A = this chain, B = another copy of it.
Amino acid sequence: MDKERLQQFGEGIRQLRRSKNLTQAELASRMGRDQQSIQRLESGRVNPTYLYLLELAKSLEMDISELVAVGK
C-alpha cells in the first residue's frame, strides 16, 4: 500500500538523519524549514515532492539517487 511505502521511506530518512547526528530541527534548519516538516516526513504522513527531496539530499550531503534508495 502507498501509506506503507511512505512510512518505510520516512523511517529510512530517520536513520540517515540519526547516523549524521542531526536533530529534526537541525536538519529542517538546513532546508529552511521547521521541525514539524521533518517530523511529518519521517512519520510517513506526507508524500514529499521532487524539489523537497532534492533539498533533503543536499542537506544530508548526499546524492538524490542514494536518498531515494533508502525506501527500498
A residues within 8 Å of B by Cβ? Answer: 2, 5-6, 9, 47-51, 53-54, 64-66, 68-69, 71-72
Is chain A's interface secondary structure helix, strand, loop, or mixed overall?
helix
A72: which B residues are within 8 A, CB to CB? 64
Are B51 and A49 in touch, CB under 8 angstroms?
A: no
Best-surrounded residue of A6, A53, A66 (most CB of chain B within 10 A): A53
Contact of A9 among B2, B9, B50, B68 (CB under 8 A): B50
A69: which B residues are within 8 A, CB to CB? 64-65
Chain B's closest residue to A57 (CB) is B68
A6 to B72, CA, bound (A): 24
